[in-house]
Structure 1
């Protein structure tokens, strides 16, 4: 094993800063079993506040993940349903049939930006104008047709949350996400410690400072500023909330599971990434994903992701890369490279196996080999839960996990893995032994049989 992983991390960061010609680059790795690792390279452009761990960068569209969390909080609090049309909650002059779920997954067909050439004028609409001008904004694609990224959609979601909570979006995101998670360096506006953002000339080493604008009513799409340390923590929260928010103060872990499930791919022919409910999901190989978001604003690029799945994964692994160049795409690549390096060079410690209590008596007769649809299955009890796997399946495929329904021990719900959501029903003989099961209504038996109930070993084909 690599004895000094930070040396490799540092080299990767310094190479990215030099190759990408990023005036200031700040990087952080967060994991629950180590102290944070933070590195800054370059010059902040702010003489009063030299570059360091406390330097703030604009994080752009990473802000959308905060807005998405606020929307799911409102859903969990019973204030909305994800399939509600926005007109149920907001007075809008057009496009009121767009659903909350479609806006979260960028499949509502909204044009990319709010009405007007805001990147020419650098004047953003205020809260009221975002909604009042919806009749001037196009629905560039039919609802649900395909992925089309829209800042306007998230601006509307921010106004929705504000309306439901009776506060401004800025107040809600501060009170319900930033403060509870202790993200003290994450702010709505640039503080004194802010880096200067630049456009770096393609054909020389010159760079021009970019203007910064308040996004007003479009703020829920891209307003926030932060540090690499805060954003690495945020990436860890999105991937493994139990390590950052163990009591679910901000959002239940099950809700984040829902947000991470891909609702659409971003390109119909290149399935390189997907979009969940406000989150980008990037596959990294078998059963490994990076979840989070990228950001871009004049003079800045940013990326914050957490890693899920795979052998050696440390708990709560998140990474953020923030830079003061609006054109440095290397930032969006470096975050994924560092997450991979963290697992390769410094994997999680291997916990020793220990003897545990046996399966509850009412489930012991289930353990072992069964068949369903002629396919062999293995039912086992591990980690305090009943599990099932294909007998000949790859070892790294997650098992199906079951939980009994309240007060009904012989009816269990599949809570993850194969057939998630379906019921497993147990049938017992007079002694209480489980002799047959039905999983997703398919018969499960100890011996291999056909759909007519006859044993496969008996043959019966008449030539």
Structure 2
């Protein structure tokens, strides 16, 4: 793979992978293949797998509510169902007012600080105060944070332990982990930068884990995509689209499906203060693609283009 030709100069530190029935090909620029990136909201897609797996295990029902699994008391958020959270149709905001999202966004923009350092108790306090609106499609980091910790509650584990037991360890994912604090970053952790090249603080924190806190090498995400394609990953039903999600898209449990060049593409992207990511699959062709970048400039169009071109090559070979 020619990453310079694919991504251009805006992504000096990046990695990519192509997945097919013949195997996995990886490439990187500016870092070695073991370097780990923040994968951002691809974490939501992983939480979607854990949700579908918990359904299969009988630990939860689609109608299970946050209040059944988390100590929220008799508040509106306690009545929100897990299924609505997986589809971003819970009525919860992207972030609650009590988290002061504008102040955090300004601090991120000015100083590069981490806007998501809350612990679980702080998250639950926010949930007890949050206003729940009418159910409609509204992308919610807050909702997926609560979803992941509710799934952990159903299994009697922390979210980090659940992630290890049901995703990381069974698949042997390389450099795929969930740091709660900066001192838990691995030795190969990259520092992300904004589009001006300024360093951004790592996005670590207990609360954000299920929605955007996972880090991984390109090999780790590629192995996960390969496991989704070959059926060895838990919770693959999460990829099946079950509800509309904006114009021309449908959503399963976190995973989004669109049509591109006449083919069904299942994908998720991610973005943090200093990173961008994209992972997608053509399930019918058995192909996949991953792009991770340590710069906060979108890689979405490159990811989709890489996957569709790769699929054409595989089908025509």
Q: Same fold (TM over 0.5)?
A: yes
1:216 aligned residue (206, 228, 244): 206
Distance (whole Å) between structure 2 residues aligned to residue 231 and residue 285 of structure 1: 24
Q: Which SS does the other structure have where 1:40 is aligned?
A: strand
Native 8 Å contact 1:62 1:222 kept in 2: yes
- Contact kept? 2:40, 2:211, Cα under 8 Å: yes
Corresponding residue for residue 127 of structure 1: 120
CA deviation after TM superposition for structure 1 residue 260, in Å:
1.9
Query: 1:348 offset after TM fit, Å?
Result: 6.5
CA deviation string 1:138-192 (max 9, x = no partner): 32x402xx21000111111111112111111011101111110111221113311
Whether the 8 Å CA contact 1:57–1:194 is kept in 2: the answer is yes
Question: Unaligned regions of 5+ residues in structure 2, if any?
Answer: 108-112, 180-184
In the other structure, the counterpart of 1:397 is none
Distance 1:55 1:179 in 2: 19
Q: Which structure carries more helix by proportion?
A: 2
Counterpart residue number, 1:181: 171
Q: Distance in 2 between matches of 1:125 and 1:55?
A: 26
Deviations 1:36-89 (A, max 9, x none): 211112x3xxxxxxx121111110010111111112221111111112222233
Deviation at 1:101, TM superposition (A): 0.7
Structure 1: distance between partners of 2:168 and 2:254: 17
Distance 2:311 2:203 in 1: 38
Secondary structure class of the residue paired with 1:26: strand
Is this contact kept in 2: 1:198–1:298, CA < 8 A? yes
Aligned to 1:69: 49
Q: CA deviation at 1:219?
A: 1.3
Kindly state the Cα deviation for residue 123 of structure 1 after the two structures are TM-superposed.
5.3
Instruction: Report the structure, 1 or 2, having the larger strand content.
Output: 1
Which of the numbers 301, 307, 311 marks the counterpart of 1:339?
A: 307
1:374-406 per-position Cα deviation (integer Å, ceiling 9, x unaligned): xxxxxxxxxxxxxxxxxxxxxxxxxxxxxxxxx
Instruction: Say whether the 8 Å CA contact 2:44–2:210 is kept in structure 1.
Output: yes
Q: How big is the shift at 1:284? A: 1.4
**Matching of residues 411-450 of structure 1 within 5 Å:** none
Contact kept, 8 Å, 1:281 with 1:290, in 2: the verdict is: yes
* Distance in 1 of aligned mates of 2:303 and 2:226: 13
1:293 and 2:260 are equivalent in the alignment: no
Q: 2:21 is matched with which residue?
A: 32
RMSD across aligned C-alpha pairs, in angstroms? 2.0
Match of residue 250 from structure 2: 274
Cα distance change, pair 30–123 in 1 and its aligned pair in 2 (3 A):
closer
For 1:163, the equivalent position in structure 2 comes to 153
Does the CA contact (< 8 Å) of 2:174 and 2:219 recur in 1? no
Out of 317, 321, 328, the position equivalent to 2:291 is 321
**Preserved contact between residue 301 and residue 322 of structure 1 (Cα < 8 Å):** yes
SS of 2:14 mapped into structure 1: strand
Distance 1:217 1:171 in 2: 14
TM-score computed with the length of structure 2 as normaliser: 0.87
Residue 88 of structure 2 corresponds to 106
Corresponding pairs, count:
299
On the 8 A contact 2:7/2:302 being kept in 1, the answer is no
Aligned to 1:116: 99
**Conserved 8 A contact 1:291-1:305:** yes
Gaps spanning 5+ residues in structure 1: where? 1-8, 44-50, 202-206, 350-463
